[in-house]
């Protein structure tokens, strides 16, 4: 143990810093740990005890066409053969109830689980002296009466009226009822907790609700209302316009493209001719050289370059303008490489030969290029 003491003394600051960082991270995780999102009760994809995911998942496994509805009841799908399952909806106004009842009249069904059933005044509720708890629930199926055990945690009961058919009843009154409405039907149940994950498998809740959810096998789709639980699906940009306007705009756009094509409009990049972008390349140099030769300005052009070269030799090296190539060679030995010195002497001798009227050694293009390179070399000194 004593062998580690010197090591600990040398690194005590680093160890203290590491311990502080770990404590800071642990404290941050304990304080800032986000809590899971709390979903509303009766939501079809909530796995919490008051959610209904268990029943919905079972329906999907049994190939019942379950779909989620996250829009207002004013936008329910057209046609017939649909069923809407709404569990304890809230914030429903009278206009929406009327739209829903018109949708049911067209041959659709409403399955409503709620302790405070309104249903657009289709059903009336009454308060009883019943205490919430487990009760014997009777179901009348034709001439057969069956008894089930269920938890009825409300004192509300549905009032028996003309046109209202009792489906489930306990000793205090009607727990579930239905009635025809136009070409459709409405089924109301005052105990929505039977569908929750915590209660669906308790007592006989599953046996009681399962037949209503599956129907007679001719169900086109079972829509589960989540709009009135606060989960709203925003409409797409195109859904704000009628179909005829979208179709007409598409046809006009295609017609415009075809007309532009027929008019010969070119679609694609515009390429710049190479002749517009070439600057002082070989082609330009050859063209200038040919022009000098045709105009017989070749000797004059070379004389201008030679004079510029000799002026640079005067300024940089102090070599007089009338100096011979040999004198330039002596000075170039200390200032230029051997190859560059030989090139300078050769250029000066060719220039002297041209001035004496002798034939040019090499092409005019090569000679003027080399003179230009030598001028640039001397300018950089």
pLDDT, residue 52, reads 92
Asked if 199 and 151 count as a contact pair (C-beta separation under 8 A), the reply is yes
Among the residues of the chain, which ranges form H helices? 5-10, 12-32, 53-61, 94-105, 205-214, 243-262, 274-277, 282-295, 298-317, 325-335, 338-355, 364-379
**Count of other CB atoms within 10 angstroms of residue 113:** 24
pLDDT, residue 4, reads 46
Cα 258 to its chain centre, rounded Å, is 32
Q: State pTM to two decimals.
A: 0.55
Domains of the chain: 53-229 (3.40.50), 277-379 (no CATH)
Helix %, strand %, coil % of the chain (to 5): 45, 15, 35
Cα distances (Å, whole numbers) of residue 238 to 70, 234, 245, 246, 257: 18, 12, 10, 8, 21
pLDDT, residue 273, reads 67
pLDDT, residue 34, reads 59
pLDDT, residue 274, reads 64
Q: Compute the CA torsion angle 86, 89, 93, 94 (nearest 10 deg).
A: 40
The pLDDT averaged over each successive group of 10 residues in the chain (381 residues) is: 51 71 74 68 89 90 88 88 91 87 92 79 85 88 83 91 90 92 92 92 91 76 89 68 78 84 67 61 64 68 82 83 82 83 84 72 77 84 71
Provide the token pair at 83.
Answer: 């069923």
Pairing of strands 156-158, 221-225: unpaired
pLDDT, residue 237, reads 61
Provide the token pair at 237.
Answer: 């940009």
pLDDT, residue 347, reads 83
Q: Three-state secondary structure along 196-227? A: CCCCCCCCCHHHHHHHHHHCCCCCCEEEEECH
pLDDT, residue 31, reads 65
Question: Which DSSP helix (H) or strand (E) runs through 67?
Answer: strand 66-69
Report how far apart the first and last C-alpha atoms of the chain are (Å, whole number). 73
Distance CA 84, CA 94 (A): 18
Q: How many residues does the chain have?
A: 381
Q: Which residue is it, tokens 């017609």?
A: 255
Q: Which residue is it, tokens 């090296």?
A: 317
């Amino acid at each position: 143990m004593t062998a580690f003491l010197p090591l600990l003394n040398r690194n005590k600051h680093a160890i203290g810093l590491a311990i502080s960082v770990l404590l800071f991270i642990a404290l941050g995780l304990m304080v800032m740990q986000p809590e899971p999102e709390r979903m509303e009760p009766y939501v079809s994809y909530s796995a919490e005890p008051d959610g209904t995911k268990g029943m919905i998942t079972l329906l999907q496994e049994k190939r019942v066409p379950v779909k989620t509805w996250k829009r207002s009841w004013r936008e329910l799908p057209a046609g017939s053969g649909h069923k809407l399952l709404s569990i304890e909806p809230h914030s429903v106004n009278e206009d929406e109830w009327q739209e829903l009842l018109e949708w049911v009249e067209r041959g659709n069904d409403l399955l409503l689980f709620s302790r405070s059933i309104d249903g657009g005044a289709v059903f009336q509720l009454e308060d009883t002296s019943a205490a919430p708890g487990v009760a014997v629930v009777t179901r009348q199926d034709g001439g057969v009466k069956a008894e089930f055990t269920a938890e009825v945690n409300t004192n509300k009961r549905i009032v028996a009226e003309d046109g209202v058919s009792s489906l489930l009843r306990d000793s205090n009154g009607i727990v579930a009822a239905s009635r025809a409405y136009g070409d459709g039907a409405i089924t109301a149940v005052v105990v929505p907790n039977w569908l929750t994950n915590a209660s669906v498998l308790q007592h006989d809740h599953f046996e009681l609700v399962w037949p209503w959810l599956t129907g007679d096998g001719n169900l086109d789709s079972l829509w589960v209302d989540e709009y009135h639980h606060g989960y709203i699906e925003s409409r797409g940009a195109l859904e704000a316009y009628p179909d005829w306007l979208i179709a007409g705009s598409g046809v006009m756009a295609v017609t415009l493209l075809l007309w532009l094509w027929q008019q010969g409009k070119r679609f694609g990049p515009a390429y710049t001719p190479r002749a517009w972008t070439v600057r002082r390349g070989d082609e330009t140099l050859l063209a200038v050289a040919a022009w000098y030769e045709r105009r017989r300005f070749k000797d004059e052009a070379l004389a201008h370059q030679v004079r510029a070269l000799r002026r640079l030799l005067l300024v940089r090296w102090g070599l007089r303008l009338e100096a011979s190539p040999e004198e330039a060679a002596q000075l170039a030995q200390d200032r230029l490489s051997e190859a560059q010195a030989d090139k300078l002497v050769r250029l000066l001798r060719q220039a002297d030969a041209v001035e004496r009227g002798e034939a040019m050694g090499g092409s005019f293009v090569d000679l003027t290029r080399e003179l230009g390179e030598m001028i640039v070399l001397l300018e950089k000194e």
